[in-house]
A and B are shown apart, each in its own frame.
Chain A
Amino acid sequence: MPVFNQSRKSVIILVFLITLAIIVLQLMNLQLFSSKYKLDAENQGIFRKVVYPDRGIVYDRKGRSILQNTTIYDLMVTPSKLKGNNTDTATLCTVLGIDSAEFKKRIDNIRFKYSQGYRPAIFEPLLSNEKMAKLTEIMYKLTPAYYLQERSVRDYPYDAAGNILGYLSEVDSNILKNPNYTGYVMGDYIGKTGLEKTYEKVMLGQRGIEFWKRDKFGKLTERVEKGAYDTAAIAGQNMHTSLDIDLQMLGEKLMENKLGSIVAIDPKTGGILCMVSSPTFKPRLLTGSERRKHIAEVLLDPALPLLNRTVGATYSPGSTFKTLQALVGLHEGVIDTKFTVSCSGAFYGCGGAKPMKCLDKGTFDLRGAITISDNTYFATVMQKVINNPKYPSIDSSLSAWDQYMYAFGLGHRLGVDVPYEKRGLIPTPAFYNQAPPRGFGKGHWNYCSFRSVSIGQGEVDVTPLQVANEMAYLANKGWYITPHLVDSIEGGDKYNMLTNFKDRHQTIDIPDSVFEAVHDGMQGVVERGTGGAAKVPGIVICGKTGTVENYYKGVKQPNHAFFAGFAPRDNPKIAIMCVVENSGKFGGTYAAPIVGLMIEKYLKDSITDKNRLARIDELSKLNLIPPRIYIEIKRQDSMRHAKDSAYLIAKGYITTIKDTMEMDQSDEEDALDKIKDDTIPNVKNAPAKKDSNDNKTKIKPDAILPDEKKKPETKDTANKP
């Protein structure tokens, strides 16, 4: 049989070979020359799972854990596995307290967001204990479409010390942009305030990474190379603090219904025993399932519960300042302990105009002057210091005085390990040399221009922590250690965060005898002077009251009550201060009894006497919140008929709700602040012309309402009687 067309075989083979060549070329293109596909494959086929380590635990001075981790559950759902069982869905809705429309909305949302619902997603995050209990009962009906997923959240076993411990919050875009916080991604949590913020690095630990294979639904199937490339997570370091949680809780109780602070320090170590800022917040309300409900409420409260007043608010120190003036006077040699001043009713050292009144008429020596808090005595002492012929000019004498104040820990940040510390204000020659209205202008001032500083009013501002620290300085007779909360870190202080808490600060040598004289006076304050309410049977307490006049928006407010002291006198174990804002009356009335109870609690470990217990309750119930806060609340309420802040944002009353108080401005900003003219116009209308210090306490609570309400309520202005 003849074979036709045999040559066409070659053509066919040629076509085959061309096709083969095209295929091989495309294979080379895809597999050998292009790296795009390998990257794509890794991106979609391999998942870098970040393993979050447990955050460090915080213990108090007796080893009790005050900040730890707990497990909470998210309810997860895989919509593709949902069966159309309506009764189960209805049960679930009842338990979660949602209606079927909300249910459908959530499921649709998940389907839309996560690959048509093949991937599990959170249906209800952070289940409360109550919901959790009900859910576990019906869970068997809900599987496999639903399951519970663990998540670790912070837990506060004593539900106290919220301001100190701080809380976590999701990172925001500002943090993601900040080069100091590299490594954080959207959805991570970061310490926002308190120790959680300061010791973020220590407590965070090291994140681990697991490499997982995943399928097209994003479900993780198995480890890559059985985990050969994985990095294990390293748990955060635990920290031991000097805090006494019992004392802290007592302090918080005593300060209920009041604005103010209590700070107690162990003078030997600088360790902070308690740091109460009132009003405060229950830290459990800002963690886990409660957070969503309460964060707005806490942020919008005009009493600023998130503000840590112990370091973030400044006040004129009032008469507690006099103890320091005594030290300066004695050490400078302008007075001795025998030096007496008699007060006929006021200080006339500056002539007849506007005399500074004294409360008790009579003649006093140093001890007596401290005991009864005689204004005239200390005005005279400071006058002698400033007008000391040893110094060629008032500039140099005031500078010398400033050096003492700095040595006492005033006028600068102490460096405590809670964030947002204020520096306070100690007036310098440069400060008064500024042109009016801020200062007096160079050459236009003398001692009489600022004589009220001598009694702790006027252009002097301190934080409660600085006052407590100055008491530690007095108790130690001439030195202090930077106040701090964290004593030690388990596994070593890798980031050198505790180095500054070891050194004694002792820049001026003042002989013990000088201190003894001041201590005598302070003991007298409690035993027979203005601070009798602080008396504790069996304990020798040295103290000093303070009654601070202050202004808010140019209106004179009730006095702040101050009491500061230490105990016992011979071997001081606690240095303490208390301020009750706008309590009215005197420092001895409200602040002294609180300090007395705190000292008793700390030194005797417990308070058993019935009368004393009754006193605690009485003080706790006493409501001293100034009326302006209530006015503020009322005004807010009337604006909040839409209930949520969204309304306020829409109306432009709030621009944003920020999660922090954002008070840690940089130093230079602070320095500018100090020199810059007062930016709040209506403060200039304040009666006292020289109270230029009040913007030092300008807190910037971005969460607060309209502009004219952004006034801090802790602002003090000195009054010149």
Chain B
Amino acid sequence: MYQKNASISKGIDWLTVLLYLALAVVGLACIFSVEYKSGDNVVQNFLGFKKEYSKQLFFFGASIIVAAFILLTDSKFFTATANLAYAFGIMLIMATFVVGKEVGGSKSWIPLGFMNIQPVEVCKIFTSLALAKFLSLPETNLKKIQTQLIAAAIAFSPALLSVLQKEPGAAIVYFSFALTFYREGLPTLYLIVIFSLTILIIASIVVSPIVFYVSITVIAVLFIFFNGRKIRRDMFKLVLVIVVWLMCIGVKLFLVHALFDYVLKPHQVVRIFTTFGIDDYKFKTPERTAEIEKELAKLGTTRRKPGEKVESYNVKQSKIAIGSGGFWGKGFLQGTQTRGDFVPAQNTDFIFSSVGENFGFLGCLALMLLYFGLMLRLIFLAERQRSTFSRVYMYCVVGILFFHVALNVCMTLGLAPSPGITLPLLSYGGSSLITFTILIFISIKLDADRQMILR
């Protein structure tokens, strides 16, 4: 089966490469537009590596080289070293406990001199490979509890370690592997339960208690009414409905309070609350209330008038920047909000707002089509793989991309809490750019070698 590649380009899916390049170039342009001040000597800045856009250009060059190396590597290398790489990744994360550098309160970075790498970020690659390796074993079956547990362990170990490093934002991305599990046969019930639970938790803090209790009771009664015949045949189902109903109330009474009063950090609570505009939540202890108030003040959150919703300063500025772009946008380098540094972290987490302001609705739509085009293309590639390893790996990549894009964009639009995750290929940062380059180019390489049986 093994055959030597005549050239590096053989079998490469150029559409994916093009989508990748387009996104990376848009990213460079956006970082430039955020950082550029009129009168800057652009050439000098590019050569001097003083500015982030020049550094990002360097990272982009490095990414191209890395991509070339990946394309030159034999696909069997990835299957062969998957488990080893995973072990290496876990060790990297562990290493941060010893040699980690503190950036923004979390000790999750390893300094390499010219750049800092975040092992949790890089470890996504290794986890994807390891999951692909494990799920491609013939004896695994995600309908079995044993497989489920092992797969979950592989997927969530790095996340767990990351939480221990106080960097829960990066950890949340590991939930994206659920998408792969679903594709590979995880019973739908799991996802439904998780999805319902999320909805339930949000609903229980958003709506008033009376509305909440009445709603779930009405739903339960309607369910019983419409399934009356089945229930009469099998009384166990009635018991089940009542148990679910009780669990819902339990979630409201205990889980939600446990989450917001004890488990979540104050700043996380504030982010969630500001996203949904909640300001009437009653905390159990006055100390907790004081902590939350402090955090609200720190975020620049303003509670101007009694009727007005609380809104985080960052998200508000991001919405203003995007909203002011209008249909056509203000033009490259013309955005007043971007140029005035109104949006915090606009290079990294909030880079989408500069697209929104400079290029308007059309630009945003085009960018979204690029992202979803890339994802759909990767799904298409995944589905045409003969080897389970390749398919599982590509679904992992799609999941990670989807999670990043959806959460990041929704955050800048004020639809989701901001967990602090980057917009793939656009946000400034060598770690993030190179990670996504490797993720995508391994997919491309695996696809080029799709005739091989890999396991």
A interface residues, Cβ below 8 angstroms from B? 1, 3-6, 8-9, 11-13, 16-17, 19-20, 22-24, 26-28, 30-32, 34, 36-38, 40-42, 44-46, 213-217, 221-222, 224
Residues of A within 8 A of B341 (CB): 215-217
Interface string of B315-344 (1 = CB under 8 A from A): 000011111111100000000110111100
Q: Which 5 A-B pairs have the closest CB atoms?
A: A37-B323, A45-B336, A41-B324, A215-B340, A30-B323
Is residue B409 within 8 Å, beta carbon to beta carbon, of the partner chain? yes
In the complex, A41→B365 CA distance in Å?
21
Give the complex CA separation of A705 and B368 in angstroms.
74
Interface string of B380-404 (1 = CB under 8 A from A): 0001001110000000001000100
- B406 CB–A CB distance under 8 Å: yes
B183 at the interface (CB under 8 A from A): yes
24 cross-chain CB contacts under 8 A: A1-B386, A1-B453, A5-B184, A12-B379, A16-B372, A16-B376, A17-B372, A27-B365, A31-B325, A31-B356, A31-B364, A32-B361, A34-B323, A36-B323, A37-B322, A37-B324, A41-B321, A42-B324, A44-B337, A45-B340, A214-B340, A215-B339, A215-B341, A224-B336
With A5-B185, A221-B38 as given contacts, are A16 and B356 in contact (CB-CB < 8 Å)? no
Report the bound CA distance from A9 to B398 in whole Å.
12
| B88 within 8 Å of A (CB atoms) | no
For residue A7, give the distance in angstroms from its CB to the closest CB of chain B.
Answer: 10
Decide: A23 and B413 in contact? CB cutoff 8 A.
yes
* Inter-chain CB contacts under 8 Å: number: 123
Inside 8 A of B190's CB, which chain A residues have their CB?
none
Q: Does B205 contact A (CB under 8 A)?
A: no
**Residues from chain A with Cβ under 8 Å of B430 in the complex:** none
Complex CA gap A45/B336 in Å reads 5
Asked whether, in the complex, the Cβ of B368 is within 8 Å of the Cβ of A216, the reply is no
Contact in complex: A4, B38 (CB < 8 Å): no
Given A34-B323, A221-B37, A222-B38, residue A8 in contact with residue B183 (CB < 8 A): yes
Chain B neighbourhood of A9, CB < 8 A = 183, 379, 383
Query: In the complex the two chains form, is A41's CB within 8 Å of B323's CB?
Result: yes
B340 touches A216 (CB 8 A): yes
Given contacts A9-B183, A37-B320, A38-B323, contact A45 B337 (CB under 8 A): yes
Q: Is B360 an interface residue (CB 8 A)?
A: yes
Pairwise interchain contact A12-B182, C-beta atoms closer than 8 A: yes
Interface of A is mostly: helix
**Chain B interface category by residue count:** 35 or more
What is the interface of chain B mostly: helix, strand, loop, or mixed? Answer: helix
Known: A26-B413, A44-B320. A31 touches B184 (CB 8 A): no
How long is the Cα–Cα vector from A34 to B413 in the complex, in angstroms? 13
Beta-carbon contact of A41 and B387 below 8 Å: no
Q: How far is the CB of B422 from chain A (nearest CB, A)?
A: 17
Inter-chain contacts of A41 with B (CB < 8 A):
320-321, 323-324, 336-337, 357
- Contact check, B336 vs A213: say whether CB atoms are below 8 A apart: yes
B364→A27 contact, CB < 8 A: yes
- B323 and A1 within 8 A (CB): no
Closest to A8 in B: B183
- 0/1 string, B266-295, CB within 8 A of A gives 1: 000000000000000000000000000000
Contact B386 A13 (CB under 8 A): no
B residues bordering A, Cβ < 8 Å?
A: 37-38, 179, 182-185, 319-327, 336-337, 339-342, 356-357, 360-361, 364-365, 368, 372, 375-376, 379, 383, 386-388, 398, 402, 406, 409-410, 413-415, 453
Which among A28, A30, A37 has the highest number of chain B CB atoms within 10 Å? A30
List the A side residues contacting B327 at CB < 8 Å: 31-32
- Chain A nearest CB from B433 CB (Å) reads 22
Most buried by B among A8, A12, A41: A41
Cα(A222)–Cα(B184), bound, Å? 56
Closest to B138 in A: A1
Q: What are the residues of chain A within 8 A of B383 when measuring CB–CB? A: 3, 6, 9
Question: In chain A, what residue has the closest Cβ to B365?
Answer: A24
**Do A40 and B410 contact each other (CB < 8 Å), given the known contacts A13-B376, A24-B365, A31-B360?**
no
CA distance A30 to B322 in the complex (A): 7
B37 and A45 contact, CB distance less than 8 A: no
What are the residues of chain A within 8 A of B386 when measuring CB–CB? 1
Chain A residues whose C-beta falls within 8 Å of the C-beta of B322 in the assembled complex: 27, 30-31, 37
Whether the pair A40, B320 counts as a contact (CB closer than 8 A) is: yes
Cβ contact of A32, chosen from B179, B326, B368, B402, cutoff 8 A: B326
User: Could you say which residues of chain B place their CB within 8 Å of the CB of A23?
Assistant: 368, 406, 409-410, 413, 415
Once the chains bind, are B409 and A215 in contact (CB under 8 Å)? Answer: no
- Of A5, A6, A23, A31, the most chain B CB neighbours within 10 A belong to A31
Further contacts, 8 of them, CB under 8 A, given A8-B183, A9-B183, A23-B406: A17-B372, A27-B322, A27-B365, A31-B364, A215-B341, A216-B340, A216-B342, A224-B336
Chain A neighbourhood of B37, CB < 8 A: 221
- Would you call A8 and B361 a contact (CB within 8 A)? no
Contact A44 B342 (CB under 8 A): yes
Question: Which residues of B lie under 8 Å from residue A19 when comparing CB positions?
Answer: 402, 406
Cross-chain contact A16 with B361 (CB below 8 angstroms): no
Nearest-neighbour CB distance to chain A for B253, whole angstroms, equals: 31
Residues of B contacting A32 in the complex (Cβ-Cβ under 8 angstroms):
326-327, 361
Residues of B within 8 A of A40 (CB): 320, 323-324
